[in-house]
Structure 1
Amino acid sequence: MEKERIKELLHKYRKGLCTDAEKAWVESFYDELANLPSSDLTEEMIQADLADVYQRIPALSKNKSFTLLPRIVAAAVFLLFVSIGFYFFKEKESSQPLVEVIDKSKINPNDFAPGTNKALLTLADGSQIALDNAPDQKILDKGGIKITKNEDGLITYQINPGIQEAKSNTLSTPKGGQYQVILSDGTKVWLNAASSLSYPTTFTGNERKVLLKGEAYFEVAKNEKQPFKVLTDRQELLVLGTHFNINSYEDEPEIKTTLLEGSVKVSALQTNHTILLKPGEQAALKKSGKLKVDQIDAENVIAWKSGLFQFQGSGIQEALRQMARWYDLTIEFEGDAPDIQLWGEVHRNANAIEALEILRYFDLKYKILAKGNAKKIIIIQ
């Protein structure tokens, strides 16, 4: 089938306009490519095109920061991203520069470094402790409560058994920061950038309740006599002991709860709509209060915990919101955002300039504006 016909079908597939027969053909396309005999898809052909990818993306050549999905690697000679039908056969980029830097004298590559383990711990008395990559240290040892931190970005709570008074603490990460905490009951929480978790120093009564803003991954210590609850501004999550991820950023259109292990009950506060999730399912709560459930690859959702941006057909705006939080940037579009989906992964240890090289494959350019500590990326179509 000629390339233009393939490109047309891919466009229709992305828009949901394919007939059943066309949809079946598109979905089998990669499987066929992955099994092509060497006479059709030679190693030299693949390596030549992948070499071009490595040369044009510093994140690959230096830090191996960009990895194509295995299914797509097999078909790399034909296309890179299904969603827009980009072909390696297309003409090389024009000589027009990808990046236009405004006020070059103020651009420092270190300003675009990836995020690190850093957070702010607010204690019950209102005092605040800045947490960074410093060596192990004791944060608090008073009144039967001991809080310690280590250089890997982890704080732990040890509470004397006789302590019954619960005091509220809040762990907050800025843009460009992440942190981990082990609560007094043994529950482990990974906090993503621009997020906060409020929790008691010890759990009393007949439930364990925490308040989340932003995104976090939980591994809840099992205690059937004391259920664990996670509250966000629009939903309540009830668990006994399980592994799950909640994305509740205010700038996202939905609160997404993804279950990896166990079971959780998700309740919309606005409508009282309740659903029970099974492993591999994701509940999406819209601002209207409507809940829906989808089957997803849960490991992709928590890729951030393992140091990856994982894009599985992610809209470009969603992808760039993730990057903006991690790199502490403001990212805007000049005009309307293009209807583009991303497939692949980028390591979060790449700097922002390297990560944004992914835009090259969509014929998108960007401007960098830097003034003091403020950094803005403007995407140009």
Structure 2
Amino acid sequence: MEENNIRNLLRRYLSGACNPEERARVEQWFELLESNKVKIDDADLEEDIAEVRARLVAPLRKKRKLYRYAAAAAVLFAVAMGSYLYLIHRSSDGIKKTEKLASSAADIAPGRNVATLQLADGTEIALDDLSNGAIAQDGSNTIYKNGDGQLTYVAADGAYTGKMVSNTLKTPRGGQYQLTLPDGSKVWLNAASQLTYKISKIAPERLVELQGEAYFEVAKDARRPFKVRSGNQVVEVLGTHFNVSSYDDDPSIKTTLAEGSVKIVETDGRSNVTLEPGQQATLDHKNRLSVARVDVSDAIAWKNGKFSFNQTDIHAVARQLSRWYNVEVVFKGKVANINLSGEVHRNTNASKVLEILSFYNLNCKIEMIDGTKRIVIE
């Protein structure tokens, strides 16, 4: 098949416009990719198709909804066919046109491991400016910066003081960081987030306060429950894996359980829910709690270095892009309230992520205004 025919067919599949024969053709193509029956003569193209196959096989084995991987494949296939990134838009007379995205000089680099640590005395340490190794002493704890954006506390043997002090880890827009708390719990902090936590082991409970988003792997300690306060809710656990997304500009707080059990309590005490693995609790702006079963991998995709959109509202997608690429996202004209599906790595430039939007007839571009880049969607 020619490139344009493939792209058009995938777009119709995503929009549900395929007839039964076309739908079968798309699904057969993915089955061929998975079974390694596709033969490509060109060496470079064959290498790129191999990457497409590698990213598709595992999800397909889980029998998840295929349209998500059609979107992902469309993105990767466009790269495979010569690394051209196209955006589709409608002209004033309603005719579709295709234009090449801005050159790499106008692209936007992805976020990276960058954060600031605020000690109990107010001292702030820019972690990205420091070499690996011991970076500070706070009470009886030595704080180490490890490779790949990790922060760890190591306490002197038996040297715990009665002084209750807190530290705060902050990530900017375009940053992320990983933290091992003094109790051994691990935390991944997403962009534009901050976590405040006690560094003493003698506190009767392990209470942390979150603004933004974080994924937690909590160390078991039956004597001291672990609690996460975020917005108008508190998550209570003993030992489990879960994700909390609590950004001020999001319409709700979402708590997703990957393993174990958690209890979510509104701070006013009016209601609470207990989650099972695979469930997500949503606390809306009216403090109404609801529970739904979700695909956990979507909620924690950011922690695994991916954007994963599964019928995600276009405005929610824009907020994620804005935080990770540290850029303003602007909507021009009347943009349909559409939901997007697709998956792409977060370590790519913004242009490759924007490619997903092209399959929904959205015109996207990166503009430079007074020396500042922004993403425009119309």
Give the TM-score range, shorter chain.
Answer: 0.7 to 0.9
Task: State the shift of 1:75 in Å.
Answer: 9.3
Compared with structure 1, are the counterparts of its residues 113 and 75 closer, same or farther at alpha carbon in structure 2 (3 Å cutoff)?
A: closer
- Distance in 2 (alpha carbons) for counterparts of 1:131 and 1:75: 37
Compared with structure 1, are the counterparts of its residues 137 and 228 closer, same or farther at alpha carbon in structure 2 (3 Å cutoff)?
A: same
Q: For residue 244 of structure 2, what is the amino acid of its counterpart? A: I
Q: Are 2:99 and 1:97 aligned?
A: yes
Q: Deviations over 1:228-261 (max 9, x none)?
A: 1100121111101110000001111110000011
1:302 to 289, 296, 300: 300
Contact 1:66 1:345 in 2 (8 A): no
Could you tell me which residue of structure 2 aligns to residue 119 of structure 1? 115
Specify every segment of 5 or more residues in structure 2 that has no aligned partner in the other structure, as ranges.
1-8, 76-87
Q: For residue 99 of structure 2, what is the amino acid of its counterpart? A: P
2:66 to 56, 72, 76: 72
Q: Deviations over 1:164-194 (max 9, x none)?
A: 3221110000011000110100010000001
Secondary structure, in 3 states, of the residue corresponding to 1:299?
helix
1:157 to 143, 153, 156: 153
Secondary structure, in 3 states, of the residue corresponding to 1:354?
helix
Contact 2:215 2:244 in 1 (8 A): yes
Contact 1:177 1:194 in 2 (8 A): yes
Task: State the shift of 1:206 in Å.
Answer: 1.7
- Distance in 2 (alpha carbons) for counterparts of 1:76 and 1:345: 10
Q: For residue 340 of structure 1, what is the amino acid of its counterpart? A: I
Compared with structure 1, are the counterparts of its residues 220 and 116 closer, same or farther at alpha carbon in structure 2 (3 Å cutoff)?
A: same
Task: State the shift of 1:372 in Å.
Answer: 5.5
Q: Deviations over 1:94-147 (max 9, x none)?
A: 445365x7xx9xx8446x111100001111111110112754131113542200
Compared with structure 1, are the counterparts of its residues 76 and 286 closer, same or farther at alpha carbon in structure 2 (3 Å cutoff)?
A: closer
Matches within 5 A, 1:12-27: none
Could you tell me which residue of structure 2 aligns to residue 285 of structure 1? 283
Aligned length: 334
Q: For residue 232 of structure 2, what is the amino acid of its counterpart? A: R
2:252 to 251, 254, 258: 254
- Distance in 1 (alpha carbons) for counterparts of 2:202 and 2:288: 33
- Distance in 2 (alpha carbons) for counterparts of 1:124 and 1:76: 49
- Distance in 1 (alpha carbons) for counterparts of 2:370 and 2:53: 28
Q: For residue 307 of structure 1, what is the amino acid of its counterpart? A: G
1:317 to 310, 315, 318: 315
Contact 1:148 1:156 in 2 (8 A): yes
Matches within 5 A, 1:129-208: 129-132=125-128, 135-141=131-137, 143-160=139-156, 161-163=158-160, 164-208=162-206
Compared with structure 1, are the counterparts of its residues 251 and 311 closer, same or farther at alpha carbon in structure 2 (3 Å cutoff)?
A: same
Secondary structure, in 3 states, of the residue corresponding to 1:322?
helix
Q: For residue 72 of structure 1, what is the amino acid of its counterpart? A: L
Q: For residue 344 of structure 1, what is the amino acid of its counterpart? A: G
CA RMSD across the alignment: 4.0
Q: For residue 173 of structure 1, what is the amino acid of its counterpart? A: T
Q: Are 2:339 and 1:341 aligned?
A: yes
Could you tell me which residue of structure 2 aligns to residue 21 of structure 1? none
Q: Which moved more, 1:371-380 or 1:302-311?
A: 371-380
Matches within 5 A, 1:365-380: 365-371=363-369, 374-380=372-378
Specify every segment of 5 or more residues in structure 1 that has no aligned partner in the other structure, as ranges.
12-24, 55-59, 82-89
- Distance in 2 (alpha carbons) for counterparts of 1:353 and 1:342: 16
Contact 1:119 1:177 in 2 (8 A): yes
Compared with structure 1, are the counterparts of its residues 31 and 267 closer, same or farther at alpha carbon in structure 2 (3 Å cutoff)?
A: farther
Task: State the shift of 1:311 in Å.
Answer: 1.2
1:211 to 209, 212, 218: 209
Compared with structure 1, are the counterparts of its residues 375 and 80 closer, same or farther at alpha carbon in structure 2 (3 Å cutoff)?
A: closer
TM-score by length of 1: 0.76
Secondary structure, in 3 states, of the residue corresponding to 2:99?
coil
Matches within 5 A, 1:345-356: 345-356=343-354
Identity among equivalent positions (%) equals 40
